[in-house]
Each structure stands twice: as C-alpha cells, then as structure tokens.
Structure 1
Amino acid sequence: MNFFVVLNGKRMKQIVLIIVSAFFTAWIVYMENLVQVPVFSTKEGPKAVYKGEKDIALTFNIGWGDEKAAPILDVLEKENVKSATFFLSGAWAERHPDLVERIVKQGFEIGILGYGYEDYTSIEDTEIRKDLAKAQTAFGKLNIKKITLIRAPTGHFDKRTLKIAERFGFTVVHWSIDSEDWTNPGVKKILTNINKAAPGDIVLLHASDSAKQTAKALPDIIKGLKGKGLNFVTVSEMIANGKAKSEEVR
C-alpha cells in the first residue's frame, strides 16, 4: 500500500520559514556566546591571559577622548595605587603624549590597544599586522619600546589574532571581571560588578571619554578591593607571580 503526504504551497512556505528562523536564532545565540567567552587559546599554541592566581590587576582601556584619563590618574595617585595596566591605542597615544608620559611617570604599565579601533576578527591577517606595527611605531616614537602586552581593540579575537600577536612577541590580555563602566550604568552598578572580584582577577575598566562614571566609582572600587586584602599589581606582575589561566578556542 502506498501513502502520500500532500502539503499545499502555503503550508510548505510556513514550515520552511519556521526552520530558517530557528536556525538563524540558534546562530545568533551561538555567536553571542562565542563573543562573551572570556579568554581563548589554541591547542599547544599561543594563549591569552584572562586570570592569574593571586592579587588583583586593574586595567584601563583608552581609545579616544581627552577628559577622563587625567581624573582617573588623579584618583589612583590620591589613593596610592602604584600598579595598574593601561591599554592605549596608538592613535590616542600620538595625540596625547603628555598623558602617556604621566602614565609612565606614575609607574603604570602600558599595553597596546591596537592603533585604530579595528575588530580583529573581521579583518584580514595583513591588516591586523599593519595595525599592530603602526601601534608599535607610534609608541616607539614616544620612547616606549618594551611593550609585551596587547588587548584586542574591541575585545574580540580569534586564533589568528593569537598567532599574529605571538609573532610580534606580544601576549594577548583579556579580563575576568567586566565593570561595564563604558555603559554608564551608575556608580552602584559598577561597584556591584567589581564586588565579585577575587584573587587573580583582571578587571576591565575604561578611561576613554565614553566612561563618564569611572573616576567617581574608582575610590570605592579601590577601597572595596583593599578591604578584601587584595594587592594591586600590573598584568605582567600577575603573570610572573603565578600561573595564568586560559581556555581553548573552538
């Protein structure tokens, strides 16, 4: 006996639309989760640091603006914080050599945040290399030549980024605690985001002009972390003082 299933055109279109929509939704969820993976490494290859074993590392990204960096440096000086890592874009550093000089004079570590604001996962290898080389040149002109750390400008990176960074002699640095200060959620929310910090965490903060509440939140951030008995160190010091954690890129 033969059986036949008859579907009209309208019904078939609905089924196809449902399948396509489900696939598209699953893909978006997958990509969002991939972007939020805190750190990556390749099997038996270069790695990205996102967490240490002890102490705490405050890191500040600066990509643009000339209003927020100085107040943040003022707070760090007033609160007697002598160790932090600033990831600076080469373009910003060229425009603000005075602030770069102050960061160095206060004893803080400098890492590279690329040159321009490029998403390394969406450009070709040659463009990544050009961006990093341009940043190196910019810092070299400012007499800052022994930079060993980089952070992907948008926070997104992949296996290619890790391999290219390794060829340049760089270690890619991510973070384990995101303050989300760039969204300006309010001082209380920034403090709540950082309050979960524990020994070995690398904290992401910003000193670009888009982060309008960071300087105001910083004194209480420092007080809270000191209250937990955490010592402030640079990322390089954290790496040197213990094993850095990483995860595999899939």
Structure 2
Amino acid sequence: MDEVIALYYFQAANVKKIKQYTFIIVIAFFTAVFLYVESLNNFSVFSTMTGPKAVYKGERDLALTFNIGWGDVRAKPILETLKKEKVRAATFFVSGSWAERHPELVAQIVKQGYEIGILGYGYKDYTSMEEQEIARDISKAQDVFRKLNVKNIELLRSPTGHFDKNLLKVADRYGYSVVHWSLDSKDWTNPGVQEIVTNIEDVEDGDIILLHASDSAKQTARALPQIIDSVQSKNLKFVSVSEMIANSSTKTEEIK
C-alpha cells in the first residue's frame, strides 16, 4: 500500500514538473516571437541571405529624394526652390532615358551639388524581369550617365519602387546600393499642397522622403518650402542618401 502511495506521489510530482516546464517553454516561445516582431519595426535595410541590401531608412539626419522619369517642366522649379531655400543636400534618382533628353538639367543637378542615383533606363517593373533583362536596362542607363560625365554613381532605385532578390543581386554585382524610402509624400497623385506636407509631417531622424520631379507631380515645387520648414523645425539636418548610409548602422531582413 505504501509503495502504491509513493508511486502516486512520484507520478503527480512528475506531471507537475512537466506542466511547469511546458509553461516555461510556451512563455519563452511567445517572448521570442514578441521580440522578433518588435525588432521588425526597427529594420532599416532589406537584404538577401547572401548580403545584397536595399536601404529604406538611416539612423539619423534626413534625406530628400526626387524621382525623375519624364517631362521637362517640373524639375527646374524644384531645383530653383532647393537653391532658394539653401538646401545643400538632396538625392535625385534619374532615369537614363530622361537624362538623355535633358542633359542640361542633369548638369544643373550636379552643379548645385546634389547627388544622382540611377532610376533604371526606362520605366520598367524589375520584379517582372529576369536578372539579365534588369542588367541590360541598368547598363543602358550607365552608358548615358557615362557620356554625360556623371561619375561615382553608387545608388539605384527601382523605377516602380518594387524590388526583389533578383534586383538586389544585380545591383550588388554592379556595386550599387538599392534605395527605397520610409516616407512617401504621394505628391505624384497631386492631392493638394497641404496634403503633401501632411503626408510627411511625422518625419524623424533617419527618414528617406520620396518626392518626384517628373511632370506628373504638379504640386511638389509649391509644397517643398513647407516641407523644408517642417524638417528644419525639428532640427533635422539634410544629407544625401550616401551620407546617411555612411553615417548609419543598420539591421537586415531577408528578401525571399
């Protein structure tokens, strides 16, 4: 009888221990999941497992970026506004086809001391293309900028904003950093000057702002002074994307 009782208490103790261990494992699992999800909020770089990256946020300062793919009306007023507002650092992602048609505006961007990145050659969705096709489009853009004597281009942005591991691998092969953005002004939708300003009012250290200098963005030049005031009111410093990358530490998330 005593042996039966002892066995009962032994089994009960084991069950209790198993429950305790199970509870600890479950808590540890959900804690790990929580910490992982929280860490995603701080990611500033997308990457493949092998290393190529796409930057969308830095650690400090602020980068104004402008996409230019077509048109000959909007770019010049934006350049004039930046000069008038004494903004000494900005990054223009320019398509090769646009640069080919407007070498004088490319020269003005360079003269004003702004950084140039490649926006491909034509307006193409790189996620629908094979690596060889992406490489050909980038090479075509490279040839244009080489002829225009624009040197030391280190940045690349997907024309449509969409990218995958194929683009990251091609960009890495060419020595480019792929650049996305953390704040979208949505200026190309022409929602009104105040709406464009409102879209970036939560700007903070490390943000990369997406703006456009193509003819589709009809209100950007008028919104720009207010955007600049908003940034400066928060004591944020304008830098080029390359400066931001150089001055930042980053984390990575794998691109499938």
Aligned length, in residue pairs:
214
d(CA) in 2 for partners of 1:214 and 1:204? Answer: 11
Matched to 1:152, the amino acid is S
Unpaired runs of at least 5, structure 2: 1-42
Is 2:229 the counterpart of 1:223?
Answer: yes
- Alignment partner of 1:75 out of 81, 88, 102: 81
d(CA) in 1 for partners of 2:249 and 2:59? Answer: 6
How much is the aligned-residue C-alpha RMSD, in angstroms? 1.3
Partner of residue 122, structure 1: 128
Is 2:49 the counterpart of 1:46?
Answer: no
1:195 match: secondary structure: coil
- Alignment partner of 1:161 out of 167, 170, 175: 167
d(CA) in 1 for partners of 2:142 and 2:59? Answer: 30
Q: Deviations over 1:220-248 (max 9, x none)?
A: 00001000000000000001111145432
- Alignment partner of 1:58 out of 49, 58, 64: 64
Would the aligned equivalents of 1:51 and 1:246 in 2 still touch at CA under 8 Å? no
Within 5 Å, give how 1:1-250 maps onto structure 2. Answer: 40-250=46-256
Unpaired runs of at least 5, structure 1: 1-36
1:58 match: secondary structure: strand
1:40 match: secondary structure: strand
Give 1:38 shift. Answer: 8.9
d(CA) in 2 for partners of 1:245 and 1:205? Answer: 25
Matched to 1:158, the amino acid is D
Give 1:210 shift. Answer: 0.1
Moved over 6 A (4+): none
Q: Deviations over 1:102-159 (max 9, x none)?
A: 0000000000000000100001211101000000000000001310100000001100
Would the aligned equivalents of 1:39 and 1:175 in 2 still touch at CA under 8 Å? no
Distance 1:244 1:99, change over 3 A: farther
* TM, length-normalised to structure 1: 0.83
d(CA) in 1 for partners of 2:76 and 2:67? Answer: 13
2:98 match: secondary structure: helix
* TM, length-normalised to structure 2: 0.81
1:243 match: secondary structure: coil
Would the aligned equivalents of 1:67 and 1:209 in 2 still touch at CA under 8 Å? yes
Partner of residue 31, structure 2: none
d(CA) in 2 for partners of 1:77 and 1:106? Answer: 8
d(CA) in 2 for partners of 1:148 and 1:84? Answer: 14
d(CA) in 2 for partners of 1:238 and 1:39? Answer: 13
Q: Deviations over 1:164-213 (max 9, x none)?
A: 10000111000000000001111111111111110000000000000000
1:212 match: secondary structure: coil
Give 1:43 shift. Answer: 1.8
Which protein has the larger Cα radius of gyration, Structure 1 or Structure 2? Answer: 2
d(CA) in 1 for partners of 2:49 and 2:154? Answer: 22
d(CA) in 2 for partners of 1:245 and 1:155? Answer: 20
1:205 match: secondary structure: strand
Q: Deviations over 1:86-111 (max 9, x none)?
A: 00000000100000000000000000
Would the aligned equivalents of 1:50 and 1:244 in 2 still touch at CA under 8 Å? no
